Chains A and B, each alone.
Chain A
Amino acid sequence: MTTRVTLSIRRQLSPQEKPSWEEFEVEKRPRMNIISALMEIQRNPVTKNGRRTSPVAWDCSCLEEVCGACSMLINGRVRQACTAFVDDLDHPVRLAPLSKFPVIRDLIVDRSVMFENLKRVKAWIPIEGTYNLGPGPRVSPEVQKWAYELSRCMTCGCCLEACPQVNSRRSFMGAAIIAQVRLFNAHPTGAMNKDDRLEAISAAGGISECANAQNCQRVCPKNLPLAESIAIMNRQSTFYLLKKIFHF
């Protein structure tokens, strides 16, 4: 039995172009996901009513929900295309690029703002020296347990996409970045740059933009403890503020 699946895709060939919708129909195969449906369209870029068009562009890499590249809006909700199975979705399937990032082409967006913000908060551990610094301090298994969770963040952008505080009027760095600050501040070596990171998240567009809608936690494909991480960073940044005030 062959069944066909209709995909309605938001097309935009360049960042300047006005977006428009195109419908495609592909033959459904067992365990078909959105990526394989898009590959089908790429092989034969003809719309549902028979018009030849340009192939749809999208981003993907790992195909196992660990890289975050294929984040897109599937039936209006943000998720990864590789783990979105056609059988589980409402039809016709509507695909659109993430709305909180600039579109490069079709379903491909530029998420470099997240990388810029990771740099802003120094989301790394400085280990470079002019001589061998030797092995770093040990991390307790209790810390490792949640730190490992947070290290699984793939910067996919779902938390920013679902956040009501991230929009064209305001640039909030988002839950992913704040969770990384928690991760690196907890590391014994990373803690040496704790205040630098707290300073960065206390600036405009930082943690004070959070208004506790907690959509981030609900949409995170890695189920990271984002709300808890933001609350902990609220505590750290509050103490940092008090420290700044009373040392003024």
Chain B
Amino acid sequence: MEAYIASVERWQVAEFLLKKLHSLSGIFPLGFFLLEHLFINAKATRGAALYNGAVQSIANIPYLLMFEIVFVALPLAYHAAYGLLITYRGQVNLYRYNYYYNWTYCLQRLSGAIAFIFVVYHVYSFRVAPAMEGQRVTFDLVRDQVTNPYYLAFTLAGTIAVSFHFSMGIWNFLIGWGIAIGPRIQRVAAVACMASFIVLSGLGINIIYAFLG
């Protein structure tokens, strides 16, 4: 780890830019992809046929793999790796300084770590593994997975973590890029981001249960 940190230190000049890109990549393309992903999967609430059709229409996109690599895989790998580095560099002090934004600071790191584990497994089980086995992702395949109570709990935890991380990430982005300046707008933004967290996790949970019928 220390050797890795040392090699990162050599990037000192670029670090400011790397941190800015980390923040930006969480909104675009990753946040946009998350919304698109939820939108497509929400079709599961209208039955297996519509869902399978939506999956098929994505599979038919020309140059799909290139889009997946450039707009999802690479930004995700970068966001995750740099995010873990940022988490390693922080130090929790909630027990002494029990404040609202200190809680969101800690939860942002915790949700990021949970999201990381979830997304790795999620991408493996619904993209990499079916592709290698020449299998098609269908409503039934998803249903078979979420019928397992452990996997269901894992998916619910992952969905809630991703929703929180993205929503609070918007708040951090607004401040980090110097958009939300004053204390009142920062508070308004925090409330709006919490509302986004509730809506997105509610939507995610609803979609997961749609597969269970």
Chain A residues at the B interface, C-beta cutoff of 8 Å: 76-77, 162, 164-167, 169-170, 202-204, 206-215, 218-219, 225, 227-228, 230-239, 241
Contacts and interface: CB of A to CB of B under 8 A. Distances in A.
Interface string B173-205: 001111111110010000000000000000000
Contacts of B16: 202-204, 206-208, 237, 241
B143 interface: no
Given A206-B16, A241-B17, 8 more contacts: A162-B96, A167-B91, A169-B91, A204-B16, A215-B97, A227-B186, A235-B179, A236-B178
Interface of B: 9, 12-13, 15-17, 19-20, 86, 88-93, 96-97, 99, 101-102, 104-106, 108, 171-172, 175-183, 186
B183 A215 contact: no
Contact of B13 (A203, A212, A218): A203
27 contacts: A164-B90, A164-B102, A164-B106, A166-B91, A170-B90, A204-B13, A208-B16, A208-B19, A208-B176, A209-B89, A211-B86, A213-B101, A213-B105, A215-B93, A215-B97, A230-B175, A231-B181, A231-B186, A233-B178, A234-B175, A234-B176, A235-B179, A236-B178, A237-B16, A237-B178, A241-B16, A241-B17
Judged by DSSP, the binding face of B is helix
Contacts of B9: 204
Contacts of A77: 96-97
A215 B99 contact: yes
Contacts of A166: 91
Contacts of B179: 235
A211 B172 contact: yes
A231 to B, nearest CB: 4
Contacts of A207: 16
A203 B15 CA distance: 7
B12 A203 contact: yes
Contacts of A239: 178
A238 B178 contact: yes
A212 B183 contact: no
Of B15, B19, B178, which is in contact with the most chain A CB atoms at under 10 Å from its CB?
A: B178
A233 B16 CA distance: 13
A203 B176 CA distance: 15
Contacts of A236: 178
A170 B105 CA distance: 17
Given A228-B183, A238-B178, A241-B20, A214 B172 contact: no
Contacts of A237: 16, 178
Contacts of A230: 175
Contacts of A162: 93, 96-97
A239 B104 CA distance: 27
A214 B172 CA distance: 11
A237 B20 CA distance: 11
B88 A169 contact: yes
B9 to A, nearest CB: 7
A206 B16 CA distance: 8
A210 B15 CA distance: 13
A225 B181 CA distance: 11
A241 B183 CA distance: 24
A147 B176 CA distance: 22
Nearest to A170: B89
Contacts of B101: 212-215
A210 B86 CA distance: 10
A99 B87 CA distance: 20
A213 B178 contact: no
A232 to B, nearest CB: 6
Of A203, A208, A233, A241, which is in contact with the most chain B CB atoms at under 10 Å from its CB?
A: A208
A65 B106 CA distance: 31
B90 A211 contact: yes
A92 B209 CA distance: 54
A239 B16 CA distance: 13
A148 B195 CA distance: 37
Contacts of B178: 231-239
